[in-house]
Amino acid sequence: MNLTGEQRALAAVPRWLWALLAVALAAQLGWRAAGRVTAPAASDLPPAPSAAALRLASLGENAALARTAMLWLQAFDSRGDNALPYQRLDYGRLIAWLGAILATDPRSGYPLFAAARVYAENEDAHKARLMFDFVEAQFLVDPNGRWAALAQVALLAKHRLHDLPLALRYASEIQRLATDPTIPSWARQMEIFILEDMNELEAAKIMLGGLLATGRIRDPEERRFLEGRLKEIEERLSRSGGRKR
Amino acid sequence: MQGQTLTVARYVLVEARRSALPWLALSCMLAALGLAGFLSQVAITEASALQASVCAALLRACAVFLVAAHVAASVVRESNDKGLELALALPMPRTAWYLGKLLGFAGAGALIAALFALPLLAWARPGDVAAWWLALAAETAVVAATALFFASALGQAVAAIAGALGLYLLARSISAIQMIAGSPLTGESAAADAARWVVEAIALLLPRLDAVARGEWLLYGAPAVPELALSLGGLAIYFVLLAAAGLFDFSRRNL
C-alpha cells in the first residue's frame, strides 16, 4: 500500500486481476460462512492449568487475563440450541478453572459471581453442591470480600435444594466471619430467618434479640421491622410452646 | 554537545510525526476500545473492570510494538540511505547523535503513552491513569533504547524488532518463571538447582517490566508513590545501561 497518494488509476489494473480478486474474496466469504464457529461443547473444556501457568501467560497483566479467561470459560456448553446450558460440563474441571482464575486475580469478583449465579444453579443437585463447596472454600479465604457469593449459595441451598441445614451453615458462616460493617444487614440476618423457617423459633428469637441488643441496627425502619419480627416469633412460640434448638 | 543532542531529538520527533506512526497509534486505540466494548457486552459482571483491564493491556502491547518497530525501521533506513554517514560527517560527536536519537524515540514513546492513557480516564481515577501513563512512558523508553541498541548493532530491521521484543517478553515473564523455578514441586536435584540458578542469573540482567504499567492499577489503585518511584528507578537504571551499551558498541564501529 502506498500512503503517499502517488498511485496509478484503477483502470491500470488488468481485468483478470479484478476477477481474481473478486473470486478470491467470494471464496473466502463462502469458506468462512460454511464453517461458522459455534460455542465449544462441554466436552471441549480442557483440564485447568495451574495459577502459576496462567500468571506466566498473563505477562503480568493478571487482571486482564483473569477476566478474559472468564469470558472464554463461560462460552463452554452455552450454545443457543442448548435448552439447559452448562448441564453437561465436567464440574471437576470447571471448578479447577475457576480456582486457577481466582488465584490469578484474587480481587476479581467475576469467578465467584459466575460460580454462585450461573454454575451453582445447575439442575443436577450433585453438581450444584460441588459448586457450593467451591464457593464456601473461597469464602473462607476472604469472608469480607466474598460474602455475597456465599449468601447467594445459601439462598440456592434453601430454595432450590430445600436443604435448610446447609443453608443455615452458610448463613451462620457469614454471620460469624464477615465482619465488615459495610456488609448489608440482610446478609447477616439470614441465619435468623432460616432458623425461623426451620421452626427453630427459640434460637431465632435469641439471635434476633441479641442482634437488636448490640445496637448495630441503626436504621429506624429496619429496627422497627426486626422488632416486629421478634414479636411475631414470640407470639408463635407462646402459641406452640416453643421448640429448643 | 547538548544543543546537538536536542536538535537530533527534535528531528526524530518530526520524523515520527510525519510517518504513519500517529495514524497507527490512533488505529490501535480505536481497535482496543472496540474490542473492549465488545467484551464488555458478553461479560455478566465487572464489565467496566473488564473494559479497563483489557484496553490497558492491549494498548500497552500496541505501544511497545509500535515503538520497537518504528525505532528499528527508522535507524535501519537511515543507515541504508547513508544518512548516518552524512550526519557523522558534520562536526558532531557520535555520542550526541546516539543520545539525540534515544531522547527523540523516548519522547515519541511518551507521546504515544499519553494518547493511550486518555481513553482510560473513562473507567479509572485520574491519579491511577497518571501513574499508568508515567510507567508506560518509562517502559516505552526502555523498549526504544533496546530497539535502538539492536538496530544499531545488527543493522537489520527484522532482527532488531525480534531482539527487542524477545527481550521485552522475557522481562515481562521472568518473575513468573522465577516463581515456577522456585516451586517446591521442581524437586531438589542438581539439575533443578542449576535451572533455578540460571533463571536467577538471567533475571539479574533484566528489568522488572511485569511490575509497571499494570492494568490492575486502574482497577484497584496504583501503587504508593515510594513503590512507584522504586519501580521507575529500576527502569531508569536499565535505560542508562542500554544507552551505555549502545554507545559503547557505536563508538567502536568503523563506518
Partners of residue A70 in chain B, C-beta under 8 Å: 43
Let me know if residue A10 belongs to a domain.
Answer: no
* ∠ CA B225-B231-B234, rounded to 5°: 140
Interchain proximity B219–A63, CB inside 8 Å: yes
* Chain A residues within 8 angstroms (CB to CB) of chain B: 3, 52-53, 55-56, 58-65, 67-68, 70-71, 74, 105, 107-110, 113-114, 117-118
Let me know if residue A244 belongs to a domain.
Answer: no
Read out DSSP for A94-121?
A: HHHHHHHHHHHSTT-SHHHHHHHHTGGG
d(CA A184, CA B150): 58
Nearest CB to A71: which of B39, B215, B220?
Answer: B39
Count of pairs with CB atoms under 8 A, one residue in A, one in B: 83
d(CA B209, CA A58): 13
Partners of residue B49 in chain A, C-beta under 8 Å: 63, 67, 108
Q: Under DSSP, is residue B124 helix (H, G, I), strand (E, B) or coil?
A: coil
B159-169: per-residue pLDDT in tens? 999 999 999 99
Residue B56, chain A, CB below 8 Å: the answer is yes
Nearest CB to B54: which of A64, A107, A117?
Answer: A64
Number of domains in chain B: 1
B26-48: per-residue pLDDT in tens? 999 999 999 888 888 888 888 88
| CB-CB neighbours of B193 under 10 Å | 13
Let me know if residue A233 belongs to a domain.
Answer: no
Supply the pLDDT for residue A224.
79
Cβ atoms of B249 and B152 closer than 8 Å: yes
Render each residue's pLDDT in chain A as its tens digit; 245 residues: 455 556 788 888 889 989 999 998 998 888 878 876 666 777 778 899 988 889 888 888 999 999 999 988 988 877 655 566 788 889 999 999 999 999 999 999 999 999 998 899 888 999 999 999 999 999 999 999 999 999 999 989 988 888 999 999 999 999 889 888 888 878 878 888 888 777 777 777 777 777 777 776 666 777 777 788 788 888 877 877 644 44
Please compute the mean of the pLDDT values over residues B208-222 and round it to a whole number.
93
Interchain proximity B46–A113, CB inside 8 Å: yes
Supply the pLDDT for residue A81.
59
CB interface of B with A, residues 154-213, below 8 Å: 169, 172-173, 175-177, 179-180, 183, 209-211
Supply the pLDDT for residue B185.
60
Map grid coordinates 525501521 to a residue. Answer: B73
Cβ atoms of A76 and B66 closer than 8 Å: no
B57-107: per-residue pLDDT in tens? 999 999 999 999 999 999 999 999 998 888 888 888 889 999 999 999 999
Interchain proximity B46–A55, CB inside 8 Å: no
d(CA B172, CA B167): 9
Let me know if residue A192 belongs to a domain.
Answer: no
Instruction: Give which of B44, B183, B199 to mutate to test A binding, by max A Cβ within 10 Å.
Output: B44
Supply the pLDDT for residue A83.
60
Supply the pLDDT for residue B240.
95
Count of alpha carbons within 13 Å of B96, Cβ hemisphere only?
16
Write out the residue range of the structural domain in which residue A63 sits: 47-165
Read out DSSP for B7-32?
A: HHHHHHHHHHHHSSHHHHHHHHHHHH
Cβ atoms of A218 and A240 closer than 8 Å: no
Partners of residue A120 in chain B, C-beta under 8 Å: none
Number of domains in chain A: 1
Write out the residue range of the structural domain in which residue B208 sits: 2-252
Let me know if residue A106 belongs to a domain.
Answer: yes
Q: Counting runs of H as helices and runs of E as strands, what totals does chain A give?
A: 11, 0
Can you state the percent helix, strand and coil of chain B, rounding each to 5?
85, 0, 15
Cβ atoms of B231 and B208 closer than 8 Å: yes
Interchain proximity A110–B43, CB inside 8 Å: yes
d(CA A49, CA A64): 17
